[in-house]
Amino acid sequence: MADATLTWSLDDAVCRIVLSRPEKGNALSGAAVRDLDRAFDAALTQGARLVVFEGAGRHFCTGFDLSDLDSESDGDLLLRFVTIEGFLRKVFDAPVVTVALGRGSVFGAGADLFAACDHRIAVETPRFAFPGSGFGLVLGTARLASRIGRDRARSILLRGEVIDSARAQAIGLVTEQIAEEGIDAALADLVREAKRLDPQTVAALRGATKVGDADAELADLCRSAARDGLKARIVAYRAHVLASARQKTA
């Protein structure tokens, strides 16, 4: 099945949701986030036991699509960030096993989606970055800390580091690294494991090992995004990134 921004299929309890905007690096527009949410809900309703997120083309996801930034208000941007946070928390707390196949650039909201999944697989040698703090946004911070530890998460976010796949695996962000041709075998193993427990048991296990408070994390996000000048901060951050890129290629 296909939506405007993604394709998804369900076969033998495995749902594969593929972001399908390769010309945009699979960046997440508002429509893409809504499509992801609907596809994930449909997968759960139709009996998926393993949900796989991946991106078409070279990249998993390069973050938010801000190509329409000029027409967005601070309120529009706040709503977009709140919507993605709701979706990410749904993935993190899902009563099924989740997998992210990270290729190429896994940046911004794409890195947050990667971190929200149970199995975080690096395909070949992707790179990871969480740049939201560069424009004052606190999104997915607690989930990242739950994966790699508080101090390490703070350090990465404060420095705005880009992390290669080897280091990502060493710190626990990546759970496994495979070659492209190993994907089908890896997923076959994971679906056997996923079918071992019913969704009610998975949900109970998540509840018993719960990390973070969804309401508190949403409040942190809203406080960071509601500061005056959200759009201006994003514009300034984007200009800084472009200037830095030009200096490197000069």
pLDDT, mean of residues 1-23: 90
pLDDT at 247: 83
Of 37, 73, 62, 149, nearest to 112 by C-alpha is 62
Question: What gap in Å lies between CA 116 and CA 88, rounded to an integer?
Answer: 6
Cβ neighbours for 213, distance < 8 A, ≥ 6 positions apart: none
Q: Of 100 and 243, which is predicted with more confidence?
A: 100
pLDDT at 2: 58
* Residue 122 β-bridge partners: 102, 177
Confidence of residue 182 (pLDDT cuts 50, 70, 90): very high
Identity of residue 243:
A
CB 88 within 8 A of CB 112: yes
Query: pLDDT for 111-152, tens place per residue?
Result: 999 999 999 999 999 999 999 999 999 999 999 999 999 999
Query: pLDDT for 13-23, tens place per residue?
Result: 999 999 999 99
State both tokens at 216: 């508190």
pLDDT, mean of residues 55-65: 97
Q: Rounded to two decimals, what is the model's pTM? A: 0.95
Question: What gap in Å lies between CA 189 and CA 55, rounded to an integer?
Answer: 21
pLDDT, mean of residues 42-54: 97
* Residue 54 β-bridge partners: 18
> Residue 1 pLDDT > 60, yes or no?
no
Query: pLDDT for 94-113, tens place per residue?
Result: 999 999 999 999 999 999 99
Query: pLDDT for 67-99, tens place per residue?
Result: 889 999 999 999 999 999 999 999 999 999 999
Question: What gap in Å lies between CA 3 and CA 250, rounded to an integer?
Answer: 41
pLDDT at 205: 93
Sign of CA dihedral 215, 216, 217, 218: positive
> Residue 3 pLDDT > 70, yes or no?
no
pLDDT, mean of residues 163-174: 98
Sign of CA dihedral 166, 138, 106, 129: negative
Q: Quick one: what percent of the chain has pLDDT higher than 90?
A: 88
Cβ neighbours for 155, distance < 8 A, ≥ 6 positions apart: 161
In order of 51, 129, 145, 163, the CA distances from 170 in angstroms are 25, 15, 15, 11
Q: Quick one: what percent of the chain has pLDDT higher than 70?
A: 98
pLDDT, mean of residues 200-205: 94
State both tokens at 198: 């019913």
Question: What gap in Å lies between CA 173 and CA 195, rounded to an integer?
Answer: 24
